[in-house]
Amino acid sequence: MQGSRFAFGPFELDAGAGTLLRDDVPVAVGYRGLKLLVALVGRPGEILGKAELMDAGWPGTAVEEGNLTVQIAQLRKLLGPAADSGEWISTVPRVGYRFTGAVEQRDGAKRKPLPLPDKPSIAVLPFVNVSNDPEQESFADGMTEDLITDLSRSPGLFVIARNSAFAYKGKAMDVRAIAGELGVRYLLEGSARRAGGRVRINAQLVDALSGEHLWAERFDRGLEDIFAVQDEVTGRIVEALLGRLRAPLPRNRPSNLEAYDLCVRARKLIDDSPQTAREAHLMLTRATTLDPHYAEAYRWLAMNHWMGWVHWGEPMQPSRGLALELARKAVAIDPNDAGCHWVLANLLAYEHRFDEADTEFARSLELDPNEADTWATMSDITVLAGRVEEGLEQIRKAFRLNPFPASWYYLTLGQAQYAARDYEAAVETLRHDATYRTSSRRFLAASLAQLGRLDEARTEVELFLVSNPHFTTSYWVATEPFRDAATRDHFVDGFRKAGLPD
């Protein structure tokens, strides 16, 4: 986010310079408040969890949640009311906060346009919620995510991942600029409204090079036809871009719309914090109760259990065993869902059942070669198998499909760069704004130690241990899916040089 400038209402925020202007007049805003505002404005319309915001405002420091509440209150007072007399920053009870204003990004240093792939390339921009009900925002987001998933499963297309598409949510930008930043030729735009048992959807396919609208249609159907509409939109786009209809294998659809809503809401909460993960668990459990044959709900519930013991310090058992059981169930319900296969593949790798894991990864990419998360997850497993160059190529593919990825992509890339002994590159990656937080510091410390920058390495270790007081290198090695002794020993060497506990 460094170097970015954002305009909203009468304000202009320069993240790089650390300034906030109102009608070109400087506004006195504190350091913490500025960091929080940059995080919120940089992702307008998205819910940012409290843990994520505290990490943005107080990186590497354990602080009470009350500090965040105070800073948000001060920001609201500083910004004043929005144009509609509402608040610029809304509270999402028990979860976090969301910046609700329209934001225009004005980057001083433009991102270099990415080259176009050798196949028709498309990004689905977040569908606009045109109802007056903010609760319907998740419905519009779910529509967007499902269309991305459905298009992604067409092997003749190159499809940008959800995380990168949602980087443009609420931003007023020219379609050519968006297409250039994402490296695609086509954009799908649309709006959604759900009311009175009916759904109204507008969708249009744009050629960003010429500005021409290749296809546009309005749908007004009963709510029970929502998934048929998604299939129809997907089919029309595939036909328009590939010249003929190449329908992918059928995908499991929920039979209960409440279960669908719960799943859409829950998958945004899984990796924010232990508290939001617990809320996601309740939502997903309810979804599987409402619809016992909903594969995606089981898939995300499996991920939530896995995240619990890997990231949130919950006991390894029963979480690990439950995660594997749920992932197997998801694949059994819908063997054509690539996401279910990569989740199962990841869990099998952590069980050291590598042949089965490799089979599941291959099946996932066979079903959906555009699934960026599969490529990124597979990179982690490949690197720890000692095939470092192959792992680097896999994470590069993930970044191309997902140019604005979740923070764990940077951690995965930094880990691969460390394994390749490219320590300078690893330090740069692991200090990237998107990932410079507790989870990346052990690899950053190891990289610094290998460069002989021991004072910096010790500092990173101290910060890491604040949030991970029980960490030991031996336990980490025992739980990671290593299958190459030399790679394992290289990580252990770096951890020990940095001063991480044995």
The DSSP string of 285-297 is HHHHHH-TT-HHH
453 domain-assigned? yes
Of 105, 132, 162, which residue sits at a domain end? 105
Whether 135 shows a pLDDT value over 80: the answer reads: no
Count of domains observed in the chain: 3
**Paired tokens of 74:** 């001060």
Domain of 166: which CATH number?
A: 3.40.50.10610
Can you read off the two tokens belonging to residue 358? Answer: 């490799």
Instruction: Judge if 384 and 451 occupy the same domain.
Output: yes
319 touches 306 (CB < 8 A): yes
Cβ neighbours of residue 227 under 8 Å, at least 6 residues apart?
146, 253
Q: Assign 3-class secondary structure to 25-59.
A: EECCCCHHHHHHHHHHHCCCCCEEEHHHHHHHHCC
* 44 belongs to a structural domain: yes
Query: Concatenated DSSP letters for 156-192?
Result: T-EE--HHHHGGGTTB---HHHHHHHHT-SEEEEEEE
Per DSSP, 156 falls in state: T
Q: Which of 37-41, 236-240, 488-492 comes out lowest in average pLDDT?
A: 236-240
For residue 265, the model assigns a pLDDT of: 87
For the record, the structure tokens of 278 come out as 């617990």
Residue 453 shares a structural domain with residue 364:
yes
Give the domain extent around 146. 121-242
Give kind and range of the element (H or E) at residue 96.
strand 96-99
pLDDT (0 to 100) of residue 49: 86
What is the length of the chain?
Answer: 502
| DSSP code for 168 | G
What is the model's pTM?
0.77
| Residue 101: CA count within 13 A, CB half-sphere | 26
- Which of residues 71, 105, 139 is at a domain's end? 105
pLDDT, tens digit (0-9, with 9 covering 90-100), for 205-235: 999 988 888 888 888 888 888 888 888 888 8
Model pLDDT for residues 41-54, shown as the tens digit of each residue: 988 888 888 888 88
Q: Is the pLDDT of residue 378 over 90?
A: yes
Q: For residues 120-153, b (16+ Cβ closer than 10 Å) or e, as one string?
A: bbbbbbbbbbebeeeebbbbbbbbbbbbbbbbbb
pLDDT tens-digit series, residues 144-164 = 998 999 889 888 899 999 989
Per-residue pLDDT band for 1 (boundaries 50, 70, 90) equals: very low
Do 293 and 265 belong to one domain?
A: yes
- For 87-122, the pLDDT digits (tens) are 899 998 888 898 988 888 775 545 567 889 999 999
Q: Distance (Å, rounded) from C-alpha 111 to C-alpha 225?
A: 40
Is the domain of 95 the same as that of 232? Answer: no
